[in-house]
A = this chain, B = another copy of it.
Amino acid sequence: MLKLNFKKMNGLIPVIVQDHEKGDVLMMAFMNEEAWKKTLESGKAWYYSRTREKLWLKGEKSGNIQIVREIFVDCDDDTILLKVEQVGQAACHTGYRSCFYRKLNGDLKVVGEKIFDPEEVYKEKE
């Protein structure tokens, strides 16, 4: 029986999110136990936002939800790897496909693909 270790990080576990087909890493986020349960129940990725201190359905504003295809658990039961179908092809709130759109090469260079304009998509955002 799976028992994730939420204690190691004060109630949170890091979650790595990878595209289930292309294999590129899209983002990293955190789940608390409730986000984990909602993810399992709904088949969509739910996270816990540390800055906003609340549960968060990924894509609730942008529509770019993540449909969970596969879930892997690490050797210490304290980190999750989600393989997802990224609706809208973009995971990052900046409009890039991946949050890791900058490569360190002396300086940081933008190498990622921009998919949407965040000012357009989040225009009702407070």
On A, residues with C-beta under 8 Å from B are 1-2, 8, 14, 16, 18, 23-25, 27-28, 50, 70-76, 79, 81, 92-94, 96, 99-104, 107-108, 111
Contact = CB atoms under 8 A, between A and B. Distances in A.
Count identical subunits in the complex. 2
Top-5 shortest CB links A-B:
A72-B100, A23-B23, A71-B104, A74-B99, A81-B100
Contacts of A99: 74-76, 79
A112 to B, nearest CB: 8
B107 A74 contact: no
A25 to B, nearest CB: 6
A99 B79 CA distance: 9
Given A96-B75, A99-B79, A28 B14 contact: yes
B81 A25 contact: yes
A8 to B, nearest CB: 8
Given A73-B102, A74-B100, A75-B93, 16 more contacts: A1-B107, A2-B104, A8-B50, A23-B24, A25-B25, A25-B81, A27-B74, A70-B103, A71-B104, A72-B103, A73-B103, A73-B104, A73-B108, A74-B99, A76-B99, A81-B100
